[in-house]
Amino acid sequence: MEAGRLASRLNLLGPWLRGSFGGPVVKIGLDAGLGCPNRDDDLSGGCAWCAPSGSGRGQGGGDIAAQLKEGLEGTRRRARRRGKTPPQALAYFQAYTSTHAAPGQLRALYEQALSVPGVAGLIISTRPDCLDPARWDMLSELSARTPLWLELGLQSAHDATLAALGRDHDVACFNEAVAESKRRGLKVVAHVILGLPGEGIKQTNATARHLAGLRVWGVKLHNLMVLEGSRLAQDWRQGGLSLWSRGQYAAAVANFLARLPTETLIHRLCADPGDDILLAPEWAANKNLTLAALADYLEEHDLRQGSLT
């Protein structure tokens, strides 16, 4: 129900995937064990919001082909139970920073994924400061052979916010990565977190306008969550962290999306945390209610993607 209400006002990824691949498509999250440059040598202990397990989930780690086969078998079982056509899969290098290795090692990992029957393309999640000419060359070559997009973490278009939370790169670094991706014909999905400490709807609207100016291909939104083991968890336990309500988040998302061009693909509207590591806010555990709140806000205020550009 919510998907239909939202799709009437937003340019969501799902319809684009079905149209581009000719049928159902799933993303299978992978952990290539590459770690993160923001954790190396204990530079900052990682971004303040990030749990020790990283920002993504694989299929238990280990061999990439084995992770993919496990994920594919699970999707095929579910499809058989429902009498549906088994979906194609995109190998999603999600956990930590998926370009944090030598180009030759990375190529071998990506090629291993593409060798698994049923894999139709690659998604590579990384940081804008973990790309250099050799990595760009390798990604360009792969994108000429298979569907591929990059997910790049921006989180906020405000340098003060990024510095306070230990992001260890600035907005200019992200801008440069987007420009290079465009020169090479690579699609970019920007990751943004709404509700970061020190930011309100004024700041998140400014981040939306920044991305609109860059004309990124896609945007992926996350609500700020306090996760077990993150540096924010200590602030939260000491009462020093103010978190948004579900209603505040829905309002911020609606206003954010209204400032994006209609052609920007919306890859995610809110985070889907694991119950085992979520500390707060409690409402983040129920994604469906959050999507319903967003749909209600869009309808009540007659907002749609692009209506405030």
Phi, psi angle pair for 59, to nearest 5°:
-100, 45
Average pLDDT value over all residues in the chain: 93
pLDDT at position 53, please?
A: 66
pLDDT at 257: 98
Once rounded to an integer, what is the mean pLDDT over residues 7-30? Answer: 95
The pLDDT tens digits of the residues spanning 103-151 come to 999 999 999 999 999 999 999 999 999 999 999 999 999 999 999 999 9
Contact between residue 170 and residue 144 where contact means Cβ atoms under 8 Å apart:
no
Model pLDDT for residues 259-280, shown as the tens digit of each residue = 999 999 999 999 987 768 899 9
Residue 60 confidence (pLDDT)? 52
**pLDDT tens for each residue of 38-95:** 877 655 567 888 887 665 554 455 799 999 999 999 999 998 898 888 899 999 999 8
Q: What is the mean pLDDT of residues 211-232?
A: 96
Question: What is the mean pLDDT of the segment spanning 146-170?
Answer: 96
Written as one string, the DSSP assignment of 41-93 is GGSSSS-TT--TT-S---SSSS-HHHHHHHHHHHHHHHHHHHTPPPPEEEEEE
Model confidence at 98: pLDDT above 50: yes
| pLDDT over 70 percentage in the chain | 95
Decide which of 2 and 308 is more confident: 308
Domain 2-300: give its CATH architecture.
Alpha-Beta Barrel (3.20)
Domain locations along the chain: 2-300
Taking phi over 0 as left and psi of -120 to 50 as alpha, with beta for the rest, 239 belongs to: left
Q: Kindly report, residue by residue over 168-199, the tens digit of the pLDDT.
A: 899 999 999 999 999 999 999 999 999 999 99
